[in-house]
Chain A
């Protein structure tokens, strides 16, 4: 059959050559003209795809996917103080489907993400800006006031101080009478991509990796339904990588975490089932679908063949997705709704487990409530109205989709091999290799935009004259002062002897490489030691990461 096909393909190519000689095709085309069975010669269905919920999980991690229930519609939010954010969470919970477990996704401000109190000099101007300011358990209690933690699943975008925020969450639950084993949620806890792409690191690699494996171990025994890490390609892509680089650099980070946990003495199947991933949904819809499929297939193979995992749960990649913030334009912001809809479709067709959709105004500010509602409605329309979730992995078998999935996989393996040869992701990051690769791709993309080899509607083509956008969300600039006052009151009213004792115990644990840090952090949090005090104690032993 292939001989005949080859002959016909040759005929078609001749015809195209004749036509394009007279009428050239568009320039800067990024994908091949046409795919046929010739691009999939030797394609073995069971090896490459299998069935949903079965190795290699290309078609999805669950047997029924969205036929059972849709992906989790999880909107990332948080700004100002804990009270304001608490109100936004209650609003978001009111927009969601009733009856199901509620979903929250907490955005912390930068001082919180880097382990400083709001009254630290370095926090000036940043308090409450890109997320909510959390200084101590007292703030966390307000953040979840009236939100029973056994009725929600909460994702927290927190990395370097992830152990501290998780401890605060556990402590709030205790006060509500909810035990740790009832908690569901995720901490991002992915430090390697902070070094390579996102920037909110604190400690050097070694103690950071220790904190991560301590969390794996603590949660496997005490918080069994918690996703202990969300290994993130999202920020790598936002920093400017290609789709293949996003897969490769993320899986290389994943390999490093698994290796660290095994080295710390854990059995792979005791923790690997709680590893989760986080991908970007960019504009090239079909390429993104292929990216998700390739990533699932590769991770399954890595877990099975490289780490000898036995449990299917350890091999199955579950992931969250966020639409690509970097694709949003400040120009003609309404157009962003359409971009987000296309990206949402990519995430749905690619089989994501949860999704955050960005709001149209986010190239300019944090989103206002109306914009957030449209973003959430976009997911609901794709889910409930489009029918795209009825059939599992509906694009499988397309010559194009399977060929591109294979191609992305191959490119990503090449990178992983290179990174392995260097000594793994941590070494490749220390050498600046991953950062340089991302930077080169980002610069290339920008040049394409500037030369109009890549059209961005409303930015370098189809431009109109516009007035300034109004109605943007503003964070109250006095929040820094208010948080500082709250901290002063806290320090005056808590049991400072207990705080000193718990911080001393924390310091001792930092110095003892064999200790698990989680219980001592939990003790410190319970007596209202602040995030800054806890992180400063750790800084005094661990030191700081230096690029």
Chain B
């Protein structure tokens, strides 16, 4: 698939956007079309932006610990809005033991601190390789 469109989104209230900005920039360098939402986006705003931008991927970054509440909620709302094919991935300060639950809720992959940017890039490219 050409022109993979990625929405990099910051749900929750934390202001740690160093990771989100690095991800946005490295995704751009990798050839994706990237939209970064900015801080403090509600699930409603993220779903709205994903629809508007016709995103193929929603990449969520959250470092406040609210991931177990907000990530599943966003996935549910994306599906409710008819975006069943959108690939949702996440990153941030997320304990290992929370990852199975997030995956079960529909987050395809969680990238934890120290992950090289090449990993999510490869993950996305791989996902869309035969699409």
Contact = CB atoms under 8 A, between A and B. Distances in A.
Contacts of B16: 199, 238
A442 B15 contact: no
Contact of A330 (B22, B42, B112): B112
A122 B96 contact: no
Interface string B97-131: 10000000000000011101110000000000000
A446 B117 contact: yes
A110 interface: yes
Contact of B114 (A113, A329, A468, A477): A329
30 contacts: A110-B12, A110-B13, A113-B13, A114-B40, A122-B42, A124-B66, A125-B66, A126-B13, A126-B64, A126-B65, A129-B64, A129-B65, A130-B14, A130-B64, A197-B15, A239-B17, A239-B18, A330-B113, A331-B114, A364-B93, A365-B93, A442-B22, A443-B21, A443-B22, A446-B26, A456-B114, A459-B114, A468-B97, A477-B69, A547-B38
Given A110-B12, A125-B12, 4 more contacts: A126-B12, A329-B114, A442-B21, A477-B68
Nearest to B118: A450
B95 interface: yes
B77 interface: no
Nearest to A121: B42
Interface string A180-199: 00000000000000100111
Contacts of B83: none
Complex A-B, nearest 9 residue pairs according to Cβ-Cβ distance, in ascending order: A199-B15, A125-B69, A125-B66, A468-B96, A110-B13, A129-B65, A330-B113, A459-B114, A126-B66
A265 to B, nearest CB: 33
Interface in B1-43: 12-18, 21-22, 25-26, 38-40, 42
Q: Size range of the interface on A?
A: 35 or more
B14 A125 contact: no
Most buried by A among B13, B39, B97, B112: B13
Interface residues of B, number: 31
Interface majority SS (helix, strand, loop, mixed), chain A: loop
B99 to A, nearest CB: 9
A273 interface: no
A238 B18 contact: yes
Contact of A240 (B18, B68, B96): B18
Contacts of A391: none
B51 interface: no
B65 A365 contact: yes
B70 interface: yes
Contacts of A222: none
A439 interface: yes
Interface of A: 110-111, 113-114, 122-126, 129-130, 194, 197-200, 238-240, 326, 329-331, 363-366, 439, 442-443, 446, 449-450, 456, 459-460, 468-469, 472, 475, 477, 547
Given A110-B12, A111-B13, A329-B113, A125 B93 contact: no
A355 B15 CA distance: 23
A371 to B, nearest CB: 14
Contacts of B93: 363-365
Contact of A125 (B17, B70, B114, B116): B70
Contacts of A238: 16, 18
- Residue of B38, B64, B95, B116 with most partner-chain A CB within 10 A: B95
Contacts of A443: 21-22, 25-26
B14 A199 contact: yes
B79 to A, nearest CB: 19
Interface of B: 12-18, 21-22, 25-26, 38-40, 42, 64-66, 68-70, 93, 95-97, 112-114, 116-118
B42 to A, nearest CB: 7
Contacts of A468: 95-97
Contacts of B116: 449-450, 460
A130 to B, nearest CB: 5
B114 A330 contact: yes
B66 A199 contact: no
B15 to A, nearest CB: 2
Contacts of A197: 15
A130 B39 contact: no
A111 to B, nearest CB: 7
Contacts of A113: 13
Contacts of A326: 18
A514 B16 CA distance: 35
Most chain A CB neighbours (cut-off 10 Å) among B14, B39, B42, B117 = B14
A385 to B, nearest CB: 31
A447 B30 CA distance: 13
Contacts of A446: 22, 26, 117
A439 B15 contact: no
Contact of A475 (B14, B26, B65, B117): B65
Contacts of B114: 329-331, 363, 456, 459
Contacts of B65: 126, 129-130, 365-366, 475
